[in-house]
Structure formats: C-alpha cells, structure tokens
Structure 1
Amino acid sequence: MRTFISTSLGAVLLASSALTLSACSQSNAQETDRFAAVEIKAQPLGEGIAVLFGAGGNIGVSYGPDGTVLIDDQFAPLTPKIQAAIADLGAEPVKYLINTHWHGDHTGGNENFGKAGALIMAHDHVRERMLGIQSSGRGNDPASPAEALPAVTYHDGLKLHLNGDEVHVKHMKHAHTDGDSIVFWKKANVLHMGDLYFNKVTLPFIDLNSGGNARGVLAAAETALTMVDDETKIIPGHGPMATKADLMSYRDMMKTVIGLVETAQSDGKTLEEVQAMKPAAKWDVNPDGFIKGDAFVEAVYKSLKVAPHKEDHPH
C-alpha cells in the first residue's frame, strides 16, 4: 500500500483493504473468522435514532415510517450482525445508506446492503475511488462490485426529509479524504462526523493519498462547531460519543499542532526536526492509537507543503 502512514496503521487498514477487494489473497472464511467475536452494540440517541459500535467506523441509524437510514456499514462479514442489531431496534431493513467516505471500514458492507435493496448515497469522489485507482491517489483495485457503488452522488451535499426530520448531508473538502461528508439530523440534534473526527482513540488519520489535508480537517471541525450546541450528540468516526466541548478540544488540538508545524516550517526546519519537537505529544496518549505523534506530524507537515486545494467543480 503506497502511503506515508506508519506501519501500525497499515496493519489496521489491511482488514479494510481486504474487505474492499484490495487484498484478494485472503479467503472469505478467513475474513469471517476475523470478525466472529465482534459484537454490534446499539446505543439509542433519541426517538428513532441510534449509533452502532462494532469493528470499523461507527454507524448511525435513523428509522421510522419512511424507512431505515444507515450511515456507514463497517466490514462485509459483519452485515448479518448489523442487520440483527437494526431489527432489535424495531427498525425495518435498510432502505437508504450514506457513506461518509470511501475507506473499507465504512463501506465494506455496501455490496451486501446494495444487494438487499438499499439506495447508496455518497460524495462524487467516493464513487470514483470505489471504481478504481484514481490519478490523484489511492482507490480500490480492482473496482468495487456495481452493487457496492453509490447510486446517488452529490458535489456539495443534499437534504433528506425522512422520519419526521431534516437530514443535512454536507461535503467537507480535502480533509480526512477528498470525499468526506458530515450528516446532521436537525430535529434529533445528532451529528455524524465520519473520520473527520477521531474521539479519544487515536490522533487523526489524514489520508494524503486520497486527497486529505490537515487544513481541511481543521476547517471541517470549525464548520461542525457552527452547527451544534451543548445538547448535540456527536458521533465520531471512531471512539465513544462526544459533545460540543469534546469537538472544541479536538479543533483546538488541530489548530495548535498546525500552528506549531507551520511556524517550524517557516523557520526552515525539516520534517525530522519538527518531529523531534514533538508538537503533538500532549495528545499522543493512547498507546494503542493507530496514528502516533510522528505519523500525525508528518501528515500535517506534508499537508502544509501542498498549496491549498482550489475549489472542486461538479462532475
């Protein structure tokens, strides 16, 4: 896998790659065995809305008379367990599925849910990357099956009027990847941030090879903070549920580290010299985090070496 990230993250993403057909050498039996012990746990967040925790990205669920809406779907072998957890909530089978970005721990179940009749939606770049290797960087190789691909794509976002709520889906440009979306339920006051926000489990993963950039992660946090209040329930891509205060701390961390790296760059310091300064040490506290300080600082350093991305144009 061609990427700047640490070997520890590479190991974590191996499962994702396998389940998005990037590592075909592993059998279906092996994939199934890897997730045999995973338990899908549901946490209700309000009337007709919940979050599912398992292995991979956190899943948002909205359900009611207009059908069940799923936000991300983890890995393919977990689909039956996810479907069972949804049924246990009293919800109908998934009718709509939104992917927050293209990584396999958020889209691995797409083919299963697509074949079961779900309408899949995502940003333009999610479909492009799932179709194959992109000129701008990494994508699925070989391409995902047709049933796994988003059938509805958008450039800036979309709004769904379902189950008595307004669901606002907004694209956040060049952040974790180039196809990230956040999902906000206006009435329920719940925000799903995908991997734009890792809560207390690791330092941020900025996928430079998929068009990600540290500036965009900071901008996404700033945008999200304008949408929430002290009562908002925030679903991170990974980690436990969060509050506005938690997201503010994350924003402040990003702003601080970017500022320190930017100043060091302007002083002519090399990447190795900046890493030696340990600008992220204060937040690099989880020994099991799959992004550690040096990898995060490298991503920030390289992000700042790239000219700010120009406005994307609709396809």
Structure 2
Amino acid sequence: MFKRGLLVAATALALAAPGQAQQDFSKVEVKSENLAPGVSVLFGAGGNIGVSHGEDGTVLIDDQFAPLTPKIQSAVAALGASPVKFLINTHWHGDHSGGNENFGKAGAVIMAHDNVRVRMATNQKTPFGEVKASPKVALPVITYAEGLKLHLNGEEVRVISVPPAHTDGDSVVHWTKSNVIHMGDLFFHKMSYPFVDRSSGGDVRGVIAAADKVLAMANDQTKIIPGHGAVASKADLQAYRDMLVAIVGKIEAAVKAGKSLEEVKAMKPADGFGVNPSGFITADRFVEMVYGTFKPA
C-alpha cells in the first residue's frame, strides 16, 4: 500500500487534471490506524493523513488526491468522527493537498503556511512538469509564517513551521497531549530517500534541521506520522536524521574536493542505510539533489 502511494505521488505529484485521469484510484483502499484516543492516521495513495476528532470537530492533516475524497470521508466517518471542519496542509504538493477543493466546498476551513497559499495560487514548475494554479476554494484561508495553535478536542495542537526543507512551506503538527507528531514529507520512513523539492525552495539542510526540531519535542513514547511509510518512533527518526547527516557530509566534502556528480555517484554515499533502493527517490536521485545544493547548475 505504501509503495503504491509513492508511485502515485511520483507520477501525479501536483495533481494536474490529466494526471488524475491516468490513475486508477478505484482500487485504492483507505485504511486507518488508531494512535491515541481521538487521533488516527489514514493510509491510501499519496501522503499519510492525520485525523483528530472529538466534541469540537474533526481536524484533517493533508488530504491526498481529489478522487479519493469520498473514500477519505468514509474512513473518517468509520472512526466515529463528524465531517471535516478544519484542514491543515503540511505543504503544497498535490499528493497532500489534492482534496482541498472538495473539502473546501464541503465547508472545511483550510490552513497552511503562507508559502503554501502562494504556490497553490500560481502556476508552478516542478521536476514532474508544470502545475496549474488551484481554484480559490482549494486555497488555505488561514495562513501563518511561524505557526499556530488549535485548542480542540481536549488538547493543544501545535502547528509549527520550519525553515526551507522539503519545500519552503513545510509544517509539523504536534498533538501535545496525545504525544503524536505529523511530519509531512519532512520524513520518508524507509520507503525511499527524501524528496527535496529545490524547485519549491527546498534544502536538504533544512530537512536535517527539521528532524532535530522534532527529536527535541519527542520522547520514546511519541508516535510519528511520516509523509510516506509506516508510523515511526523517535528512534526511527533519529536513524533517519543520522543517515541524512552522513550522506550530506560525504557529498559536501566531495564537492569541496572538486569531484564531479558522476564521481560522487560512483562513491555510492547513500548505500547501506536500509532504504528501499527502488523507491520514489533512488539513491542516485537523492545524490543528485544533494549535490545540486552544494554545486548548483
């Protein structure tokens, strides 16, 4: 299920209408996993979805692809939750925000970082092609630069922005009482090397900094929802962070030594970390992204 979600994300990242038509979403099954009372995660195709529900209403974190909205709504109802009242996008990519238009029309209040609205409101060029601007109803109506807090369903939910990392508009969502953290695509758990969208202002050094920020908030009981992959622990995130530091350090040193991209690839600096070599972002693709950070074309 997770691998399928990444393949869909790779081919329809931005959810352009032609891309939707090529995907067979009818076969996707949306499954849930309870993490704490009133807090769950939904797995389908695209980014993992966080759900918080209770007497104050239902909060959704990301919403995958537009054709999956009815299945997501059914999965939310199966949790005993009311229809979605608030929607938070962890970033602008279509495998996390493709359902915005549907949920916006259904009355959900959409929230995200300032740059999410900016990018969704204008045409964007990505490694997967041009993405057309989203309709007004799909855009966040509440935006922020640093973050915000929601006092809902018996706890404080903190939405925390980070410096440019996966994109220039990433947010982390922390359920403080339930001890659950949603990291969006700041964390790809074992399925693939990270996707650093440099065309959207991303920077791998920011991904490391974001991992450090979450590690400082987490403890051994924290449940961490990655953008893609199974629910993780603090130890899993620590291993991910250490992997990034090791790979980035090797590549930065090689660039300083004057090595070409092909020479750096031949070093295989990303091998041996237990990451799926045929995932959405392969080892060579990740090396290219990091190399470009230190030696732009």
Return the TM-score normalized by structure 1: 0.88
Instruction: State which drifts further: 294-303 or 219-228.
Output: 294-303
Structure 1 gap ranges (5+): 1-8, 307-315
Task: Give 2:38's match in structure 1, choosing from 48, 55, 72.
Answer: 48
Instruction: State which drifts further: 100-109 or 262-271.
Output: 262-271
Identify the residue that residue 85 of structure 1 maps to in structure 2: 75
Deviation at 1:11? 7.6
The alpha-carbon distance between structure 1 residues 176 and 89, as it changes in their structure 2 partners (threshold 3 A), is same
The alpha-carbon distance between structure 1 residues 139 and 94, as it changes in their structure 2 partners (threshold 3 A), is farther
- Letter paired with 1:63: H
Distance 2:280 2:25 in 1: 19
Distance 2:182 2:275 in 1: 24
Identify the residue that residue 13 of structure 1 maps to in structure 2: 10
Identify the residue that residue 310 of structure 1 maps to in structure 2: none
Distance 1:138 1:146 in 2: 23
- Letter paired with 2:213: T
The answer as to whether partners of 1:280 and 1:293 remain within 8 angstroms in 2 is yes
Task: Give 2:156's match in structure 1, choosing from 166, 186, 190.
Answer: 166
Identify the residue that residue 271 of structure 1 maps to in structure 2: 261
Identify the residue that residue 191 of structure 2 maps to in structure 1: 201
Structure 2 gap ranges (5+): 1-5
Deviations 1:52-74 (A, max 9, x none): 00000000000001100000000
Distance 2:124 2:48 in 1: 26
Is 2:255 the partner of 1:258? no
Deviation at 1:141? 3.9
The answer as to whether partners of 2:52 and 2:59 remain within 8 angstroms in 1 is yes
Identify the residue that residue 3 of structure 2 maps to in structure 1: none
Deviations 1:215-272 (A, max 9, x none): 0000000111000000000000000000000000000001101111111111111111
Identify the residue that residue 132 of structure 2 maps to in structure 1: 142
Distance 2:260 2:11 in 1: 30
Q: Please list, as runs of the form range in 1=range in 2, the aligned pairs for 1:22-33 lying within 5 A after superposition.
A: 24-25=17-18, 30=21
- Letter paired with 2:162: M
The alpha-carbon distance between structure 1 residues 25 and 35, as it changes in their structure 2 partners (threshold 3 A), is closer
Distance 2:144 2:150 in 1: 13
The answer as to whether partners of 1:139 and 1:210 remain within 8 angstroms in 2 is no
Is 2:64 the partner of 1:71? no
The answer as to whether partners of 2:8 and 2:45 remain within 8 angstroms in 1 is no
Aligned-pair RMSD on alpha carbons? 2.1
How many aligned residue pairs are there? Answer: 291
Distance 1:245 1:10 in 2: 26
- Letter paired with 2:49: I
Is 2:191 the partner of 1:189? no
Moved over 6 A (4+): 135-140
- Letter paired with 2:256: S
Identify the residue that residue 292 of structure 1 maps to in structure 2: 282
The alpha-carbon distance between structure 1 residues 198 and 25, as it changes in their structure 2 partners (threshold 3 A), is closer
Secondary structure in structure 1 of the residue aligned to 2:45? coil
Distance 2:251 2:142 in 1: 39
Distance 1:62 1:209 in 2: 32
Secondary structure in structure 1 of the residue aligned to 2:69? helix
The alpha-carbon distance between structure 1 residues 10 and 289, as it changes in their structure 2 partners (threshold 3 A), is closer
Distance 1:288 1:269 in 2: 25
Task: Give 1:130's match in structure 2, choosing from 120, 123, 135.
Answer: 120
- Letter paired with 2:291: Y
Task: Give 1:179's match in structure 2, choosing from 154, 169, 177.
Answer: 169
